[in-house]
């Protein structure tokens, strides 16, 4: 007997897969009465959530057939191009692919989109939210686990559904139009905690955006260093939620970062009128005025920030001290001149 030829190993493996398949088939058959296996599909089968069309497919979504292991770059390129970015999957490989892991991490999928000026937003773990995004014209990256014995994490892009047939349409791997029953998608999607994300241009707001989580998504873009795009995103945000003081702080911070100090001042003064006790607003207004060379005017705001206290007291004290020091050195200079 010689060595077992590779083909034979493959067929043994395939057999193992088929056996596993039969087992799962049986298990699923037995369990399908049990709601816990696919709770959301069961819920969905009762009725289509209000306001959703029966059938959608974003046929204009581009397709990047993945090369080996690189579904992360392919899926990300698909949604980025759909949101108007000029990029290819190959250009994204050095931004999301981890060679030793032979794959891409979820955090990096979110982070890499920011490097292209998009706001990346993780959806609430719900079928309905995914469908709402698709219905609003936004393709959704989903993380599935297709493995039976080993882990088989895989990113695909959901681009449509047909409620009557109970199927989801995905750009997945090498398949341009992968049609998957809701139930199967739920089984493989659930294993990753129903993880899903969208990438959205800064002048738009996702259909399912939650006020606080969307604001955090914009702040993440700002943190990544894209002040221009996040400035647009904060403006768009304030158009929808004008009372949000934190968004005003964000808008002012982007103005400040771009050197637009008087714009920052205007935004912060307006915010200070709405939230007169916000340490952050007072501190940042004081700092902005000081940067404009108006330390005299800045000091009272800095004092108020310190008086308001709270978790940012340390920063407020530093700001006040530096403004006071600048004032002292200025007046000291004048006294010497006299």
Partner 1 sequence: MKSSWAKLLCRLLMVLMVWSPVQFAQAGMIGTDQVVTAASQTDRTTVLEFLGRADVATQMQSLGLDAKSATERVAAMTDSEVQMLAGKTNSMPAGADSTGIILLLLIVGAAVWWVWFRR
Considering only residues 160-219, where is the footprint of partner 1 by CB under 8 A? 166-167, 172-175, 178, 180-185, 187-188, 192, 212, 215-216, 219
Q: Minimum Å distance from CB 82 to partner 1?
A: 18
CA–CA separation, 28 and 72 (whole Å): 29
Dist. CA 136–CA 127, nearest whole Å: 14
Residue 289 binds partner 1, judged by CB under 8 A: no
Is 125 a binding residue for partner 1 by CB under 8 A? The answer is no
Please list every residue from 84 through 113 that binds partner 1, using CB under 8 A.
94-96, 98-112
For residues 199 and 118, what is the distance between their CA atoms, to the nearest angstrom?
Answer: 6
Long-range contacts of 20-27 (CB under 8 A, 24+ apart): 20/148, 20/149, 21/148, 24/148
Is there binding between residue 146 and partner 1 (CB under 8 A)? yes
Q: How far is the CB of 176 from partner 1 (least distance, A)?
A: 13
* Contact residues for 223 (Cβ-Cβ < 8 A; gap 6+): none
Radius of gyration of the chain (CA): 26
Q: Among residue numbers 48 through 87, which ones bind partner 1 (CB under 8 A)?
A: 66, 68-72, 75
Question: Closer to partner 1 at the Cβ: 195 or 338?
Answer: 195
Q: Which of residues 296-325 bind partner 1 (CB under 8 A)?
A: 311-315, 318-319, 322
Min dist. Cβ of residue 338 to partner 1 (A): 30
State yes or no: residue 152 binds partner 1 (CB under 8 A): yes
**Closer residue to partner 1 (CB): 136 or 148:** 148
What's the full length of the chain, in residues? 338
Q: Which of 48, 148, 261, 275 binds partner 1 (CB under 8 A)?
A: 148
Q: Which of 298, 299, 242 is nearest to 275 (CA)?
A: 242
- Within 224-253, the residues that bind partner 1 by CB under 8 A are 224-225, 246, 249-250, 253
**Binding span for partner 1 by CB under 8 A among 52-60, 127-135, 144-152, 327-335:** 144-152
Question: How close are the terminal C-alpha atoms of the chain, in Å?
Answer: 106
- Encoding tokens for residue 171? 């750009």
Least gap, CB of 137 to partner 1 (angstroms): 24
Residue 157's SS3 state is strand
How many chain residues interact with partner 1 (CB under 8 A)?
97
Q: Provide the b/e sequence for 272-291 (b: ≥16 CB within 10 Å).
A: beebeebbbbbbbbbbbbbe
């Amino acid at each position: 007997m010689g060595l077992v030829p590779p083909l034979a190993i493959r067929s043994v493996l395939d057999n193992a897969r088929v056996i596993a398949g039969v087992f799962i088939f049986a298990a699923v058959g037995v369990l399908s009465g049990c709601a816990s296996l696919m709770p959301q599909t069961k819920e969905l089968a009762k009725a289509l959530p209000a306001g959703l069309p029966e059938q959608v497919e974003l046929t204009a979504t581009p397709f990047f057939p993945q090369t080996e292991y690189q579904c992360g770059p392919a899926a990300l390129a698909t949604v980025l191009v759909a949101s108007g970015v000029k990029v290819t999957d190959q250009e994204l490989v050095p931004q999301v692919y981890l060679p030793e892991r032979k794959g891409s991490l979820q955090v990096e999928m979110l982070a890499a989109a920011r490097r292209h000026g998009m706001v990346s937003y993780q959806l609430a773990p719900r079928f309905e939210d995914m469908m709402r995004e698709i219905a609003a014209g936004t393709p959704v990256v989903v993380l599935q686990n297709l493995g039976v014995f080993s882990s088989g994490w895989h990113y695909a892009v959901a681009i449509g559904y047909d409620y009557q047939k109970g199927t989801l349409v995905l750009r997945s791997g090498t398949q341009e139009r992968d049609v998957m029953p809701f139930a199967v998608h739920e089984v493989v999607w659930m294993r990753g905690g129903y993880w899903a994300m969208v990438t959205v241009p800064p002048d738009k707001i996702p259909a399912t955006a939650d006020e606080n989580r969307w604001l955090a998504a914009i702040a993440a873009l700002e943190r990544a260093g894209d002040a221009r795009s996040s400035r647009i995103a904060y403006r768009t945000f304030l158009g929808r939620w004008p009372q949000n003081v934190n968004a005003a702080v964000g808008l002012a911070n982007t103005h400040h970062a771009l050197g637009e100090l008087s714009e920052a001042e205007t935004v912060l003064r307006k915010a200070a009128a709405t939230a007169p006790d916000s340490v952050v607003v007072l501190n940042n207004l004081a700092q902005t005025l000081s940067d404009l060379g108006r330390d005299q005017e800045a000091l009272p705001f800095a004092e108020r920030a310190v008086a308001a206290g709270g978790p940012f007291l340390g920063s407020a004290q530093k700001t006040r001290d530096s403004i006071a020091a600048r004032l002292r050195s200025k007046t000291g200079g004048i006294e010497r001149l006299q």
